[in-house]
Structure 1
Amino acid sequence: MNRTRPVVVSAVALVAVATLSACGEMADGAQGPQHGEPGHKMLAVATINGVGAVVTDADGKTLYRFDKDLSQPPTSNCDGECATAWPPMLAGVATPMLKGIQDTQVGTTTRKDGSKQITLNGWPLYGFSGDKAAGELNGQGANGTWFAVAPDGSKITAGGKAGGSGY
């Protein structure tokens, strides 16, 4: 009788159960809040026509970086009215979920008000109040200082606009 086949089948079954168990733990929020729950933060990569791969939040809205910020050390220079137009992506209660982003590139910086802001390759991340839906890029190139963020943290210059709401 060949005993190799039952051993192989058992090993495959064990791997499948372990994989499903690991997914179940993450889906149950063992690593933090589930998608859409308070405190959930996500960085994902989406493709926008004419621009390419951009970093988005959990709602699919484009994230931006500000040329007046610093990446070394990570420093935000957008406060007050600037932060109203360009809301900082604040760190949640758990490590952000990542889709297409390397975890070694993600960090935080402490803002002047003491809150923690998520960074990508050292650059603080922001939304734009003029983007109302996923895939919009209304802040791109605003005042020559606001740019959508590529998955490696670099700025995307394609699709820029003249003027815009910037600081």
Structure 2
Amino acid sequence: MNRIRTAVVCAAAFAVVAPLSACGDMASGAVGPEHGQPGHVMLAAATVAGVGAVVTDASDKTLYRFDKDMSQPPTSTCDGQCAATWPPVLAGEAPPMLKGIQDTQVGTLTRKDGSKQLTLNGWPLYEFSGDKAPGQANGQGVNGTWFAVAPDGSKITAPAAAGS
């Protein structure tokens, strides 16, 4: 009889603890795609010569923000041809991995097409199709409205490095 009671108590304890430990895994980002796998997004602080500390993606490409967007509420105004030149940074299946970026600063917005775009301090994030290699910031200052984004979400107003 005592063995049955012990087994029941152990089973009950397991039923309570197992879901809690699973929630802990989800909160720490352990559930979902592995680093570098499809569905995984990374935002990292890096330094680009002549521009300074910027946010980059998993491919070390500089990320940008657009002055015609809004941060409150987060709103993207870059669609169609604009989005072809300035591809939005889309959210992955799991929370993004962050390096040198505050997780409380990262969010998402829903674009007109229904996709989820990452934001930093409310500002929608974009890549620039003219950046062909890591460390480039060819989009810096384009049309006086596109700027590399700093790790805190602010725009960087430094001119792009020559030849970047």
Give the TM-score normalised by structure 1.
0.77
2:98 paired with 1:98? yes
Alignment-derived partner of residue 71 in structure 2: 71
Per-residue deviation, residues 1-53 of structure 1 (Å, max 9, x unmatched): xxxxxxxxxxxxxxxxxxxxxxxx89xx8332223210110000001112111
Distance in 2, matches of 1:124 and 1:46, equals: 19
Structure 1 or 2, whichever has the larger Rg, is 2
Q: Where do 1:1-167 residues align within 5 Å? A: 30-160=30-160
| Kept after mapping to 1: 8 A contact 2:138/2:160 | no
Alignment coverage as a number of residue pairs? 135
Unaligned runs of 5+ in 1: 1-24, 162-167
Higher-RCO chain (CA-CA 8 Å, sequence separation at least 6): 2
| Kept after mapping to 2: 8 A contact 1:142/1:160 | no
Distance in 1, matches of 2:30 and 2:154, equals: 32
Letter in 1 for 2:136: E
3-state DSSP of counterpart to 1:82: helix
| Kept after mapping to 1: 8 A contact 2:50/2:160 | no
Query: Sequence identity of aligned pairs in percent?
Result: 79
Extract structure 1 runs of 4+ deviating beyond 2 A. Answer: 29-32
Distance in 2, matches of 1:142 and 1:48, equals: 17
Per-residue deviation, residues 71-123 of structure 1 (Å, max 9, x unmatched): 00000000000000000001110000000000000000011111110000000
Change (3 A) 1:160 1:49: closer
Letter in 1 for 2:107: G
| Kept after mapping to 2: 8 A contact 1:35/1:58 | no
Deviation at 1:126, TM superposition (A): 0.2
Deviation at 1:159, TM superposition (A): 1.6
Give the TM-score normalised by structure 2.
0.79
Unaligned runs of 5+ in 2: 1-24
